[in-house]
Structure 1
Amino acid sequence: MNVLFLTLVEIDSVEDRGIYQDLLRKFRNEGHNVTIVTPVERRKGISTNYKVKDGVSILQVKTLNIQKAHIIEKGIGTLAIEYQYLLAIKKYASDKKFDLVLYSTPPITFAKVISYIKKRDHAYSYLLLKDIFPQNAVDIGMLKEKGFLHRQFLNKEKKLYQISDTIGCMSPANAEFILRHNPEINSQKVEVNPNTIEPIEINYTDEEKKSIRQQYQIPIDKRVLVYGGNLGKPQGVDFLLETIAGTKNENAFFLIVGNGTEFPKIKQWFETNNPPNAKLLQSLPKEDYDKLLASSDIGLIFLDENFLIPNFPSRLLSYLEMQKPVITATDPNTDIGDIVEKNGCGLKVLAGDIHAMNKAVDTLVSENLKTFQENCISLLHNEYLVDKSYQLIIKRIL
C-alpha cells in the first residue's frame, strides 16, 4: 500500500523517536511504501527537495516559519502551507498513486491537498486529531472568538472533518467533544486512536542515575519532579512557576527542560527569584533528555486552566515509558488526569489549585513509588503501543 503522510512536524528520518516517526516506521516495517511531506522552515535556508532515506520517501517543502514563530507569520504560514504542499506533491509525486492519505492536526489547512489526492487516487483519508483548532487558540486568548480569523479557521476545520473518512481522537473526551460540537459528523467515522510509541528500554543503575544528576548539578538526595517539552501558553507556565514558589517540601526538587514562546519569561523568573528548589535547562537532544528523565522520579504535566478543549499531551508517554508517576495540573475538561489516576499512575489536580498541588507533591515525594512505576508500564503496554494505532488505521481500509 502507498501511504502519504502530511505533517507540520519536521521529520528528517523515521529512525528518530516520536509519535509520528514510530507510526510511520511501523508502516514501513509492515511492507508499505511511505511518503512523508514535511516542512522545512525558511529560517533554515533549505529549498524544497525530495529524497529517499531509511526506506521511506521524504518531501521537504520550504515554508514560512510556523513553529515557535510570531503569531502573524505563524498564521500566514499556516494558511499558505496547503498551497505549498499541493504544488510540491504535483511536482515531485505526480507518478505515485496513494491508497491512504494520513495527516495530523495541527494544522487544519490541508483540505485542498487531501481533496486533490482523494479525487486523483481514490485514496482513503484518515485524520489523526492531535489538536482541536481554532478553539484552543480562542481558549488561551490567541484568537478572538467570532473574529475574522476565527471564522476563516472554523470553516477550514469543518471542511477537514467533512473530507476525512475517519477521525482518530486522542482520548474518549476528545471524541465526545468533537461529536458534541460538530453534530453533522457521522459518529461511525470517529474513533479513539491515541498517541502511541514504540518504547525503548533504558535501565540505569542507581550509580549511573547519580552520575547523570551530578552532571547536570541536580541534587542526588531529593525527589526530582521533571517537566519536559514545549514551554508555550498552552502549557500553563504561570501555575508551573507558582508551584515551584509555593512548594515548601524540602525533599522536592523541580527540573524544567524545554523551549518555546514562554521560555524567556520562565528564564527571567528564574533569574529574578533564583529558586533553591528548581533548575531550568533549555532543550536537550532527545538522547540526553531521556537520560535525564530516567534519572528523575516524577513527571509533571501542566495545561492552561482556561482550556475548554480536552488536550492530551504526548509527554505522558515519555513518563510512562520511563516508569515515572505523573502529576497532572490541568483544566477540568481533559481526561488525561482521570486516566492517570484510574490506572494508578499518579495524581490529578486542577490548574490553579495550589493547595491541591502541594498535597499531590507531598504525597508522591514521600511515598514508595514502586507500585506507581509498575502501573505506568502496564498502562503504556495496554493502551499506547504503536501497533494499536497501526491496527486501527488498517482495519478502516480493509
Structure 2
Amino acid sequence: MKLLLIIDDYLPHSTRVGAKMFHELAIELHLQGHQVTVITPDFQQKDILNIDHIDGITIWRFKSAPIKDINKISRAINETLLSIRAWKAVRHLIKPDTFDGIIYYSPSIFWGGLVHRLKKVCHCPAYLVLRDLFPQWTIDAGMMKPGSLIEKYFRYFEHYSYRQATRIGLMSDKNLQLFRELHPDYHCEVLRNWADLQPVKKDDLNYISIREKLNLTNKIIYFYGGNIGHAQDMANLMRLAKKMQLFEHAHFLFIGQGDEVELINKLAEEWNLTNFSYLNSVSQKVFKNILSEVDVGLFSLSAQHTAHNFPGKLLGYMVESLPILGSVNKGNDLQDIINQHNAGFIYVNGEDDLLYEAAVKLYSDSELRNVTGRYAYQLLCEQFSVTSAAQLIVKLFEDNDDID
C-alpha cells in the first residue's frame, strides 16, 4: 500500500521523541513492503516544497513558520496555518490513487484541514495517533481558563481533527477510558507508544563520551531527556536532585528544550546544586549514545493532569535496559505497568519521600539497577514494539468494513 504519515516535526533536524517514533514507524512500514511518504513542515527552507529521502522514506517538506520554542501566540498562529501551507505545497502531487491510507500525529491538533482534503481526493481511511489531549492538559494545569474564547478556539480544531479520523489510537487503557468519556462518538482503541528494539551500537568514532565530557566518570547518572515544560513539572525532579546531594557519586543530567528550562537552571543556582548538569537538545544519534552511558532513566508528569500519558522518552530508556524512576498523576495506569513488571519505581507526583527512597536504592545497589533494567527491556519487547504498532494501524487500511 501507499501510506502517508503526517507530523509537525521530523528527522533529521528534530530531537523530539515524537519525530523519532514516527521515523521508526515509517521504517517498519517500509520493511513490511509499503511505500511510505511523510509530510512535515520546515521553517528553514526557502522553497515552498522540498522532497528528500531518508532510509527509504520519501519526505515532502513544506515551508512553514516556526512552531517550536517560540512564544505561545506566534506558535498558535503558525500551527493554525499548518494545513493551509501544507495543502498549498503538495496539492499538485495528489491524485485519487496517490495514497491508500493516512496516519497523522497529534500534537499538533491542526492537521484536520489537510487530512480532510487528502481523504476527499484519495478516498482513503485515516488513523490518528493521539499522544496529547490538548487543550485539556493546559486547563488541568491552570494555564487556560475553561470556557474562555481561546479554549473554544482550540476545541474547534481539536474536534475537527478527531472528525477526520476513521480510528483514533490512544496510548493507554486509562487514556482510552477518559477519551471515551469526553468524546463518545469516535472509534478509538489503545495504540501504545513504540520503539525499535535494538540498543545503540557504539560505532561513531567521533562521539565523545558524555562521562568524559562532563567529568562524570565515576558517577551514577540519573538522566532526564526530552521536553522540559509545565506538563512535566520539572521542579519535582529538581527536588529529588537536591535531596540526593548527600550522595557523592550521584549526578543528575537533564537534556532537552521547553518552557521550564529557565526554572530548572534557576533552582540549580538557588540551591547551589553541584550534582546537576543541563544540556540543550542534541541530535538523535548523540542522544542514543548518551542513553547507553547513563544509569537511571527519569521522568515526571504534572499532578494536575487528568489524562494518563505514557511519555515516549521511557521507551528510549527501556531500549537501553535502564531502570525507570519517576512520578505520575494519580490514577495513571503507567504506574501499575512499570511497577508490576519490576521495570522501575513509579509514584504519584508529590510522594517525594518514596521517590527519594527508590533513588537511594538504585544508587546503592548496582545489581538492582541491572535487574530492573533487564525487566524494563523485557516489558518493551512484550508490549511496545514498533512491529506491533505498525500491524495494528495497517489492519485498519486492510479492512474495507472500517473505511468511511
Q: TM-score, normalised by structure 2?
A: 0.89
Give the drift of 1:211: 6.1
Instruction: Give the gaps of 5 or more residues in structure 1.
Output: 205-209
| Letter of the 2:225 counterpart | G
Q: Name the counterpart of 1:331.
A: 329
Give the drift of 1:216: 2.1
Give the drift of 1:196: 0.9
| Letter of the 2:237 counterpart | L
Moved over 4 A (4+): none
Q: Name the counterpart of 2:314.
A: 316
Matching residue within 20, 24, 39 for 1:18: 20
Aligned partners of 1:48 and 1:59 also within 8 Å: no
1:192 aligns with 2:185: no
Report how many residues are paired. 387
Q: Deviations over 1:242-265 (max 9, x none)?
A: 221123541432111222222223
Aligned partners of 1:249 and 1:362 also within 8 Å: no
SS of the residue 1:178 aligns to:
helix
Are the structure 2 counterparts of residues 65 and 148 from structure 1 closer, same or farther at C-alpha, using a change threshold of 3 Å?
A: same
Give the drift of 1:191: 1.4
Are the structure 2 counterparts of residues 215 and 343 from structure 1 closer, same or farther at C-alpha, using a change threshold of 3 Å?
A: same
Q: Deviations over 1:188-235 (max 9, x none)?
A: x3111111121323477xxxxx96523321151x42211111212211
Give, in whole Å, the separation in 2 of the partners of 1:247 and 1:216: 19
Structure 1, 358-367 or 97-106: larger mean CA deviation: 358-367
Superposition map of 1:160-171 within 5 A: 160-171=161-172
Give the drift of 1:372: 0.8
Give the drift of 1:114: 1.4
Aligned partners of 2:323 and 2:370 also within 8 Å: no
- RMSD (CA atoms): 2.4
SS of the residue 1:284 aligns to:
coil
Give, in whole Å, the separation in 1 of the partners of 2:12 and 2:279: 25
Give, in whole Å, the separation in 2 of the partners of 1:113 and 1:289: 32
Give the drift of 1:94: 4.6
Give the drift of 1:379: 0.6
Percent identity reads 25
Q: Name the counterpart of 2:236.
A: 239
Q: Name the counterpart of 2:401.
A: none
Give, in whole Å, the separation in 2 of the partners of 1:164 and 1:125: 5
Q: Name the counterpart of 2:255.
A: 257
Give the drift of 1:289: 2.5
Q: Name the counterpart of 2:402.
A: none
1:280 aligns with 2:281: no
1:215 aligns with 2:213: yes
Aligned partners of 1:129 and 1:168 also within 8 Å: yes
Superposition map of 1:141-152 within 5 A: 141-152=142-153
| Letter of the 2:287 counterpart | Y
Structure 1, 138-147 or 312-321: larger mean CA deviation: 138-147
Are the structure 2 counterparts of residues 389 and 278 from structure 1 closer, same or farther at C-alpha, using a change threshold of 3 Å?
A: same
Give the drift of 1:75: 0.8
Aligned partners of 1:223 and 1:365 also within 8 Å: yes
Give the drift of 1:123: 0.6
Q: Name the counterpart of 2:46.
A: 46
Q: Deviations over 1:304-336 (max 9, x none)?
A: 221111121100001101111001212114322
Aligned partners of 1:309 and 1:333 also within 8 Å: no
Give, in whole Å, the separation in 2 of the partners of 1:276 and 1:363: 21
Are the structure 2 counterparts of residues 300 and 13 from structure 1 closer, same or farther at C-alpha, using a change threshold of 3 Å?
A: closer
| Letter of the 2:83 counterpart | E
Are the structure 2 counterparts of residues 335 and 99 from structure 1 closer, same or farther at C-alpha, using a change threshold of 3 Å?
A: same
Q: Name the counterpart of 1:29.
A: 31
Aligned partners of 2:319 and 2:377 also within 8 Å: yes
Give, in whole Å, the separation in 1 of the partners of 2:98 and 2:284: 35
Q: Deviations over 1:341-362 (max 9, x none)?
A: 1111011112222212211212
Aligned partners of 1:328 and 1:337 also within 8 Å: no
Structure 1, 60-69 or 240-249: larger mean CA deviation: 240-249
| Letter of the 1:147 counterpart | S
Are the structure 2 counterparts of residues 288 and 10 from structure 1 closer, same or farther at C-alpha, using a change threshold of 3 Å?
A: closer
Aligned partners of 2:245 and 2:274 also within 8 Å: no
Q: TM-score, normalised by structure 1?
A: 0.90
Give, in whole Å, the separation in 1 of the partners of 2:71 and 2:138: 14
SS of the residue 1:103 aligns to:
strand
Give, in whole Å, the separation in 1 of the partners of 2:316 and 2:42: 26
